[in-house]
Amino acid sequence: MSFFPAARLMAASALLASVSLPGLAQAQAVQSSSGGNGGWFVPKTAQPAAAPAPRAVRRVPVAQPMPQDGDEPMQQPEAPPVLPQPPIPDSPDLPKAAPPPAALLGVISIPTVMRLSSAAAEAQRVLGERRDKLAAAAQKEQAGWRVEQQKLQESARTLTSEQIQIRERHLQERRAKAQRDFANRARIIQEAANVSLNQIERELVRIVRQVAASHSMNLVLHSEQVALHVDGQDITEETAKVLNKILPHVFIPAEDVDPEVLAKSGKMPTTADEDTTSQVGPGPTTQPAPPASILRKH
């Protein structure tokens, strides 16, 4: 069975929304809109003298060349080039083969399954708390920048130009370091969300296949893309119940653990192992290969 990749975006939005950083984004927007000096106060004693206003230079329009003959028609667009078209071999008719089995349809709403999933709710709660903590830290750091700027402004009259430049450079270095730190912490939160979501996805692929097989279904579609279906064809709630029974919780990397560092430690399988398996090829099996993803893959 196959699944539409658009469902990944609908299901992931609820979980990955917990890693957005509105406070951090607002702090960066305030800094970027505060002027050409990166938002830092520069006293008048440290600013270079204003250069005299340049004289306005009058631009003389350049006359366009006139056509030699006033009656000459406008140039027509170029025709597409004529290219060679070598012959291709004819494709003979293929021999008759056995027809596919009759379609036994089922429908499922992946976003609804994710809303009913206890594991997804747990990941959203934990990662949401980390998101709020990071946003509060960003706001606190932004307030610290403003305090230091105010101090520099108040003491500008008693400082030399060199002292002002040194303190301003320290503020800029502090801001750059904080921005790198916040960006790295935001990445860790987002990757932790991906780790949690990947566990639900891999389990859900198996469960959907098992639930569909129990009802003798061989084709399952997303209910959001189906105009009409009957209750007996919807396996959403049944899939959610099995998912909560099999996977009530997911592994979430600790707050101080970088998921990429954890992957390199070799303590557990990684996504790179999945890629290697897909390249080498699985061993002999009678089961059909599962779909790559029912939640994501653009």
Q: What is the pLDDT of residues 102-156, one digit of tens each?
A: 999 999 999 999 999 999 999 999 999 999 999 999 999 999 989 988 888 888 8
Q: What is the mean pLDDT of residues 29-56?
A: 46
Cβ-count burial 273-292 (b if 16+ within 10 Å, e if not): eeeeeeeeeeeeeeeeeeee
Q: What is the pLDDT of residues 176-230, one digit of tens each?
A: 999 999 999 999 999 999 999 999 999 999 999 999 999 999 999 999 999 998 8
108 forms beta bridges with: 222
Those residues whose C-beta lies under 8 Å from the C-beta of residue 99, and which sit 6 or more positions away, are: none
Q: Global pTM?
A: 0.61
Q: Residue 160 is which amino acid?
A: T
What is the model's pLDDT at position 89? Answer: 92
User: Is 110 strand, coil or helix?
Assistant: helix
Res. 36: pLDDT tops 60: no
What is the model's pLDDT at position 80? Answer: 87
Highest mean pLDDT among 108-122, 261-275, 276-290: 108-122
